[in-house]
Structure 1
Amino acid sequence: MATLLYRLGRWAYSRPWRVVVAWLVLVAAVAAAALTLGGKTQESYAIPGTESQRAIDKLDAVFPQTAGASVQVVAQAPEGASVEDDRYRSVIETMSGELESVDGVEAVSSPYSDYAVDAISDDGRVAIIQVTLSANSEDVSQRTLDDVLATAEPARDAGMTVEFGGQVFQDTSFGITITEAFGVLFAAVVLIIAFGSLLAAGFPLLGALLGVGLSIGAITALASVVTVGSSAPARAHDRPRGGHRLLLFIVSRHRNQLATGMDPRESAASAIATAGSAVVFAGLTVIIALLGLLVVGIPFLSVMGVAAAGAVLVSVLVAVTLVPALLGLAGRRLAPKEGSRAARRALAASSDSPDAKPSFGTRWVRLVLKAPIVAVILVVGLLGALLIPALQLQLSLPDNGSQPKASTQRQAYDLVADAFGPGRNGPLIVLVDITQTTDVLDDLESIRQRLQDLDDVSAVGPGTPNPSVDTAILQVIPKSAPDSPTTTALVQKIRSLAPSIEDEFGTPIAVTGTTAVMIDISSTLGRALIPFAAIVVGLSILLLMMVFRSLFVPIKAALGFLLSVIGSFGVVVAVFQLGIGADLIGAEPGPILSFLPILLIAVLFGLAMDYEVFLVSGMREAYVHTGDARRSIELGFSHAARVVTAAALIMFFVFFAFVPEGAGVIKPIALALAAGVAFDAFLVRMTLVPAAMALAGRAAWYFPRWLAKALPNVDIEGESLGEHRSGLEWARGHDGAAVTADRLETPASTVPLSVEVPVGGTAVLVGPVGERRAMLATLSGRLPAAGGRAQVLGLPLPSDATAVARRIALVDASPEGGSPVGDLLGERLALSRPPFGSRRKSAAVILDRIGSALEAEGLPRVGESDRMTGLLPEQRIAVALGLGMASGVEAAALDLGELEGRHLERALRVADAVVLPSMSLLLGAPAEPHPETRSGRPLVVASLSRKAVLS
């Protein structure tokens, strides 16, 4: 991974404008799609398969007049008056008539209708007009809403209070508020302080803003084809803005390296390889956590998770492609000025001199390490204390009672609750299948009475059959509020009555309505929480094992995260449920959002693992190089503490910016994440982690051998990168050689190979067939070396084996294969760029070179229809090398089989004549060719069975 990112960083650094323009084109394309297809976010909490949802689907089919969105028009007469008074009754009836004439209204139920249920309050001051719209909540036009709202003017002119309730009036728009702008401004200030440079601080900001643009544009376009909840843009919004921390990590490493005098391009590539590896795996952990929302099986959460995961992916791609390109444009201007605080800090970090002035991070970790058990007890005790409010957590989904006090839907909700009781805001719908009863009205009345006798039932409306008399509905008004546990219990009681009602009357029943749907969603979320957490945490622990090669580190990371979640829940319950400090942020006390626990776990776990990777990767790197467990804690922490602190502060304010002015749905999520980031970064990762690592000592890095073999080593510390850079520097010292081997060994070697082949030269490797074929495979990048080093065409082995394999053809001259030569050549040319222009011309040139080489040795030409099985050994060698040349490579490797004596010498001359003069050849043979063998190119003979170079 580190080597791959190193190459990517060098490439992007060297071609900055190409990369920048590509990103700008992508942003423009997404923006165009958003403007053309842009949709609107919606509050849709449907869960397919639940009883309430199945009942709603049936209701849509058998009661189409009730399928649309509903609106409650709540009218209150002035103090001392009644809605039964002729004057106000006339106004309300007139308003009902005007509502019926509004385009988009399906039905209107007057409070004075015989079928109205609990529509006039006991004191006579409040009446409810029930309006059913033609379209569902997502499809209601703004014109219809405006016309509905306009019908209130005559009643208000008469001195009445009129408010409107219903989900259609909830504001699901998404935008940037002034508070969020202050959050971004704070992030900029933190970055400037962290870097001590406006230019350096601008890079993370620019990358994060680009990520925001891409993510929001993509979400807006996506909302035109799928249902996207109003909180999804916020999650996709804050994830790339949180990309500050990813870019911060890379730019900080680059500036530190520039301060030590490293070449800018090498520094950028190295920063992408090392810090970028941590960024990639931290991002991957976040993506795993967010995609874990798919496991829950709830559409709106799935869309939210995919949207946020896509935003994280954008941030990672920006970090490893756009950032090195921007570093390339900046060049050495990003280097801290000599003598500046940033330069002194970078030099002190790189030298680890005991005389250097310790940073605040160094002083903090030394303080923690003086008494690590005390730090552990304090952190666990503080966050554990928040378990007390966390255990009082009550979950529900948002209704109009959680809307801002000034909104019309909140005013309607409060009027209804005060006049009728809280249950009137959450009526239940009981769907009755009456196809098997012959006494419909009497049976419906009996069922109504059975429901009326239940505890917590305020009223039950008369049964209303549909026109085809196969289904009826009864409206049940609970005594308790929609989000009350008592209402949840009532729904369960009605469902428990279903079997006895069906047995007695032959009428299956189902409970639905908005309140029942919300209860079913909460229940589904509760059941999904444990498997979701297990999958997310389990996969992430496995990933962290791969990264850190440790059992203790991933398990400790997961347990620390659990403490952060407890602390976060404790704060949210204290504010939004118990009301402590709720007025300060404009919050309304009440139950917590049902999907907050799952969303918090998904997002916060990813962030927690970010900080874990950034801090512990430095400790791991130091431990690998020093072997001193305690010293590595101090070194790793000191190098990463400043970056993690800046990243955590940025994320805290990114999330907290949504709290004062965010929508009611987003406020608790934002506060939970802000508190979680603060607890996790500053208490868990920067206090508990170094203390726990110190207590564990060397055992923190214990990893069973069997597990180490089973899991791939991703090398986040960049050990392989060091080998690659060393090999690359060594390879550059052999510019004139096509191949150089220095004590190179394969699993089949008896002695190491040391040889140098000039460009355009031929090397003959002499030895047993197994050894020479293994060596040819190693030199052509197909087989890992067992020891030593080599360079092929300027690329080091083994670190650049993949690139070597693309530039050298390993061909086979065995007689197997029944395809005609022409077909083999055509297939090879179709897979690569023809070396001599068109495919036809290239095929003709290659066949002619093969024929001419064979004729020069007195051998017959090879035709397109000839097959390898019928050719002489020299002919097969010529064809094999021709096929290799068709691949457009710079060198070819071929074992000559068992040819010896004059046949070997003739084969060498044929090979020399077939390939282009610029190509180099690596050939395996069982014996040495004659010293006077003619060849138009330099010939080197090396033995694989003794150390001497023969030629």
Structure 2
Amino acid sequence: MAHLLYRIGRAAALRPIVAIVAWLLALGVAGGSFVAFGGTLTDSFSIPGLETEKVTEQLTEEIPELAGGSSRAVFQTVDGEPFTAEQEQAVTEALAAAETVDSVTGVVDPFATQAQLEAQAAQLADAPQQIADAQAQLDAGQEQLDAGQAQLDAARAELEAGQAQLDAAIQQAQDAGTYELAKEQLDAQQAQLDAGLAQLDEQQATIDAQQQQIDDGLAELQAQTEQLDLGAQLAEAASGITTVSEDGTTALGIIQFDASVYEVVQEDKDAVIEAVREATPEDVTVNFSADIATSVEGVMGAGEIVGVLLAFVVLMVMMRAIWPALLPIVTSVLGVGVGVATALAFSGVVEMSSVSPILGVMLALAVGIDYSLFIVNRHRQQYKRGMDLHESIGLANGTSGNAVVFAGSTVIVALLALNITGIPFLGIMGSVGAFCVGIAVLIAVTLTPAALGLIGHRVLGRKARATIGAPEHAEAPVKPMRTGRALLRFTAAVVGLAVIAIPAMSMRLGLPDGTQEPQDSTQYIAYKTVDQKFGEGLNGTLLVTADLPEAVADEDLLAAQVAVVNALMADEDVAAVAPAGSSADNSFLAFQVIPQEGPSSETTVQLVSDLRELSPLDDGTVIGVAGEASGNIDVSEKLDAALPVYLAIVVGLSIIILIVVFRSLIVPLIATLGFVLSLFAAFGMVTAVFQWGWLGSLFGVHDPGPILSFLPILLTGILFGLAMDYQLFLTTGMREAYVHGLDARRSVVAGLRHGRAVVTAAAIIMVSVFGGFIFSHIAMIRPMGFGLAMGVLFDAFVVRMVIVPSLMHLVGEKAWWLPAWLDRILPNVDVEGSALEREHPVPHAEEESEAATA
């Protein structure tokens, strides 16, 4: 590899225009591909197979009308007074304007909805009196009917008594033999009695019909009373859900889409915002929820540019010449363009998170500058000692370039390993980052030599050019560090990092909820307004489903809903519950559940778990929980569970790679433990600032909350690769000095001296670039930039330059111990290109070697 890179570097230096034009063409092709094939980025961080995803799929199948997404528009009067009739009408028209966008399926007018809620409440309030009046009427009718029945019974008794007398008279006449004489008179009396009985039967039938009417009325009234009681329970449970604030100054409009909000293209979201704002009167403000208002367009903001400028300043201080200081930045920016544009060209066929290209920019920019710097610095050192220009460029590319390829490979492997987590969006992010790092490596070993060949002797400043080839450029003799000082430095560094890592023990994971956005942003204002006027739980609304054991009739639907609502309301962390819909056969129900606190609170996280533990209910009803807040919680828990596995993979990978490179067991162990220590120190700093709020005003953290859920895994992968970079560039020098005859302790100082300046500059540059993203206009990027900056700071300056050298000094010769059997089977990896360097000796190298061993 070293010889191949030597030939590539020398050829590029001799024909720089060819390499430069080739990369410019690559940039043009990448940009054209992005324009032609690029798709839409998503803000969703869903993971297939999670409980929320399963419930959402079932919900979409059973109740299709709930499948689309919705966003919130928060209207508020400027003067703080309740909405006037004219303002209400204007808000209604402003929401209607959103329906002109194709992806919008409808809107919910807050004032019409509130009026319906109040009308329903009024009906429920009046219903008891109406039922009482109806009951009184039925009771009065029953009294009248009872009196008529009593009169009818008395008349029937009289007729029955007359019949008895007539029967007795007939019997007497028959006994006396006078029946025939009195028969006509007796028959007349009998006919009169029969007619009376027939009339009574007709009256009885009328009374019976009236009694049936009263009984039916009582049964209906009983059913209405039961329904009223059920409705009152639902109304009580949903009383906390309103669309107009209690003081009448704030209204919540809903904009409904034909798909999930995360699947709606940004152009449509922007069109909705513009349409509603243009139609909103001046005396009313409107703000929008984060799911529609948050945009990640623009990967470079003011903070990022400042970071690049700081990197340029560091390079100027180190190089003391403008061209070599400018070269790494120019080449890395070109690499960013090629890498990110090419990755985005695949966004039309791969669902790509909106954070993915920004991660690519961060990594490609930082490592691109560093990798180019390593080669430029090596060339400058060789050229100052009198080596031929093109020979020096080729050798620098074969030695430091070889190390760059290996270092970049470790970063790429660590990022690609994110696919092992089984989390698709994280795997895509890792793949995009790995591709951009790969482009940065290719740029470093092809375009950097070409640019060096183009600038020629201007790679050195005038003063340095005047002393090219002078023996003074050889290094001074090496003296080992003092053991007591090494022990003190090691102890202080380890204790310091351990203390800084303490907050990491309380790290909580979550996804952005709007409070992390700038305080003057529409999504932050919307979130806080809802929080203050309607309760913080409304921002964390859950969608709960109930899969009934069997379908219920329409008349029994209300009772089924109440049974589920009562079960949900039994949890003290539930503020309100309202039915959201039911399937066509009434076997599947959906409910809107409002937690007591916001989506990122610990109580809401616990509530989701508690609601799922309710399933199944006593009657066999299966409970499911979905919604944005639930999805975010599921994603965070999945990522939290994946972190230890990924960390174990990275640590194992680190040990294997370092054993192969350094042919030692102790050095890899020291390097890996140092990486873990710096990683947890970075976690501790992120937790202290973004979760606890320490130094929040300095870093723009106005609302501390959970840490971005995928940040720990990303930090682990990226910092592992970068830590191996610094370990490689420092420890290979130690290994080389040890192999060339220095004792173990002197070789530590020799290697540290050899790589300290360039690693220091590289680390400062990387901290500057990553630090620029701390003040990014995109909220999710800030903790990422901060964590990477802190991780690089701790790893480069504390672990690699203090802990590792001190511990290797204390261990002494045992640092390079390797079992003989393992030494035989390990491949010989010449990372620094020592064989190549022996074939192309650097002037004064002999003097330096003799001085080192003196």
Q: Same fold (TM over 0.5)?
A: yes
CA-CA distance at 1:203 after TM superposition: 2.7
Matched position secondary structure for 1:461: strand
Letter in 1 for 2:267: Q
2:639 counterpart of 1:522: no
| Contact 1:293–1:305 under 8 Å retained in 2 | yes
Matching of residues 500-519 of structure 1 within 5 Å: 501=617, 504=619, 506-519=620-633
Task: Return the letter of the residue paired with 1:462.
Answer: P
User: Relative CO higher for 1 or 2, CA cutoff 8 Å, sep ≥ 6?
Assistant: 2
- 1:64 matches 2:64: yes
Rounded to whole Å, the distance in 2 between the matches of 1:368 and 1:684 is 18
Change (3 A) 1:326 1:634: same
Aligned residue identity for 1:594: S
Cα distance in 1 between the residues matched to 2:467 and 2:299: 37
Distance 1:571 1:156 in 2: 45
Label 1:103 to 1:198 Cα distance change in 2 as closer, same or farther (>3 A). closer
2:8 is equivalent to residue 8 of structure 1: yes
Q: 1:42 to 1:172 in 2, by over 3 A?
A: farther
1:440-479 mapped onto 2 (5 Å cutoff): 440-467=557-584, 469-479=586-596
In the alignment, structure 1 residue 309 sits paired with structure 2 residue 434: yes
| CA displacement at 1:120 relative to structure 2 | 3.8
Query: Cα deviations across residues 383-411 of structure 1 (Å, max 9, x unaligned)?
Result: 11112322232221111222222122211
2:467, 2:355 → 1: CA distance? 39
SS at match of 2:824: helix
Q: Note the alpha carbon deviations across 1:484-515, whole angstroms, 9 max, x for none.
A: 1111111111111112x2x51x4333110000
Q: Mapping of 1:170-209 within 5 angstroms? A: 170-209=294-333
The amino acid that maps onto 2:105 is E
Q: Which one is further off, 392-401 or 161-170?
A: 161-170
- The 8 Å contact of residues 73 and 165 in structure 1, kept in 2 or not, is answered as yes
The question of 1:491 aligning with 2:641 is answered: no
TM superposition shift of 1:64: 3.3
Match of 2:364 among 209, 228, 240: 240
SS for the counterpart of 1:74 is strand
* CA distance in 1: counterparts of 2:374 and 2:468, whole angstroms: 17
Tell me, what secondary structure is at the counterpart of 2:590? strand
Aligned equivalents of 1:13 and 1:611: distance in 2?
A: 27
Retained in 2: the 8 A contact 1:40–1:220? no
Distance 1:142 1:246 in 2: 38
Cα offsets for 1:866-908 (capped at 9, x unmatched): xxxxxxxxxxxxxxxxxxxxxxxxxxxxxxxxxxxxxxxxxxx
- Cα distance change, pair 343–517 in 1 and its aligned pair in 2 (3 A): farther
Q: What is the DSSP-based 3-state SS (H/G/I as helix, E as strand, rest coil) of the residue aligned with 1:230?
A: coil
**Counterpart of 1:462 in 2: which secondary structure?**
strand
Q: Distance in 2 between matches of 1:230 and 1:463?
A: 31
User: Equivalent residues in 2 for 1:423-434 (5 A)?
Assistant: 423-434=537-548
Over 3 Å counting, the alpha-carbon distance change for 1:492 and 1:650 in structure 2 is same
Alignment CA distance shift 1:342-1:492 (3 Å): farther
Q: Compute the displacement of 1:293 (Å).
A: 1.3
CA–CA distance in 2 between the matches of 1:586 and 1:312?
29
> Residue in 2 aligned with 1:944?
none
Q: Is the CA contact 2:101–2:271 (under 8 Å) kept in the aligned structure 1?
A: no
1:98 and 1:210 mapped to 2: Cα distance? 43
Q: CA deviation at 1:666?
A: 0.7
TM-score, normalised relative to structure 1: 0.70
Question: In structure 2, do the counterparts of structure 1 residues 474 and 312 end up closer, same or farther at CA, with 3 Å as the change threshold?
Answer: same
Report if the CA contact (8 A) 2:745-2:812 is conserved: yes
1:626 aligns with 2:751: no
Which secondary structure does the structure 1 equivalent of 2:550 belong to? Answer: coil
Letter matched to residue 254 of structure 2: Q
Say yes or no: does 1:698 pair with 2:813. Answer: yes
- After superposition, what is the alpha-carbon deviation per residue over 1:251-271, rounded to whole angstroms, capped at 9, x for unaligned? 111121122222233322222
Count of aligned pairs: 710
Report the CA distance between 1:144 and its aligned residue.
Answer: 5.9
Structure 1 residue 368 displacement after superposition:
7.2
Q: CA deviation at 1:130?
A: 2.6
CA contact (8 A) 1:70 1:166 kept: no
Farther off after superposition, 654-663 or 479-488: 654-663
Distance 1:86 1:514 in 2: 34
Query: Larger Cα Rg: Structure 1 or Structure 2?
Result: 2
Superposed CA offset, 1:347-373 (max 9, x none): 556x3344xxxxxxx9xx976766100
Aligned counterpart in structure 1 of residue 393 of structure 2, from 268, 274, 278: 268
2:597 is paired with a residue of what secondary structure? coil
Q: From the two aligned structures, give the one with the greater helix fraction.
A: 2
Contact 1:280–1:316 (CA under 8 A) maintained in structure 2: yes
**Structure 2 matches for 1:826-837, cutoff 5 A?**
none
**Alpha-carbon spacing, 1:143–1:543, altered in 2? closer, same or farther (3 Å):** closer
2:693 is equivalent to residue 579 of structure 1: yes
Shift of 1:285: 1.1
Check 1:368–1:683 CA distance in 2 against 1; reply closer, same or farther (3 A cut): farther
Offset, 1:287: 0.9
Distance in structure 2 (CA, Å) of the matches to 1:94 and 1:549: 74
Residues of 2 paired with 1:630 and 1:445: CA distance? 77
Partner of 2:179: none
User: Partners in 1 of 2:714 and 2:416 — Cα distance?
Assistant: 11
| 1:326–1:129 CA distance, 2 compared to 1 (3 A) | closer
Helix, strand or coil: the match of 2:828?
coil
Would you say the 8 A contact 1:372–1:695 is kept in 2? yes
- Note the C-alpha offset of 1:227: 2.7
Deviates more, 1:74-83 or 1:167-176: 74-83
Q: Percent identity?
A: 41
Residue from 786, 791, 795 that aligns with 1:671? 786
* Residue 406 (structure 2) aligned to one of 281, 292, 308: 281
CA shift in 2, pair 1:8/1:458, >3 Å: same
Residue 468 of structure 1: how far off its partner (Å): 5.6
CA distance in 1, matches of 2:548, 2:504: 46
Residue pair 2:321, 2:460 contacting (<8 A) in 1 also: no
Return the offset for 1:196.
Answer: 2.2
Q: Is the 8 A contact 2:269 2:292 kept in 1?
A: no
Deviates more, 1:587-596 or 1:329-338: 329-338
CA spacing shift, 1:70–1:342, aligned 2, 3 Å:
farther
Task: Classify 1:271/1:88 alpha carbon distance in 2 versus 1 (closer, same or farther; 3 Å).
Answer: closer
CA positional deviation for 1:483: 0.3
Task: Give the alignment partner of residue 328 of structure 1, picking from 449, 453, 456.
Answer: 453
641, 647, 658: which is aligned to 1:533? 647
| CA-to-aligned-CA distance 1:769-798 (integer Å, 9 cap, x gap) | xxxxxxxxxxxxxxxxxxxxxxxxxxxxxx
Letter paired with 1:8: I
- Structure-2 separation of matches of 1:208 and 1:156: 48
The residue number in structure 2 matching 1:605 is 720
- The range that moved more, 94-103 or 67-76, is 94-103
1:707-735 Cα shifts (integer Å, max 9, x gaps): 22333121224343356669xxxxxxxxx
TM-superposed deviation, 1:477: 0.4
Deviates more, 1:567-576 or 1:530-539: 567-576
TM-score (norm: length of structure 2): 0.78
Distance 1:108 1:467 in 2: 23
Shift in alpha-carbon separation, 1:441–1:609, aligned structure 2, 3 A = same
Distance 1:672 1:141, change over 3 A: closer
Number of the residue aligned with 1:104: 103
Distance 1:280 1:104 in 2: 47
Distance of 1:348 and 1:686 partners within structure 2: 26
Q: Is the 8 A contact 1:56 1:512 kept in 2?
A: yes
How far the C-alpha of 1:40 sits from its partner, in A, is 4.3
Shift of 1:668: 0.8
The offset of 1:16, in angstroms, is: 3.5
Please say if residues 514 and 523 of structure 2, whose CA atoms lie closer than 8 Å, have aligned partners that are also in contact. yes
Amino acid at match of 1:527: A
Measured after TM superposition, the shift of residue 521 of structure 1 is 0.2
Q: 1:271 to 1:79 in 2, by over 3 A?
A: closer
Amino acid at match of 1:484: S
* Change over 3 Å in CA distance of 1:134–1:383 after alignment to 2: same
2:384 and 2:465 in contact (8 A); partners too: no
RMSD: 2.7
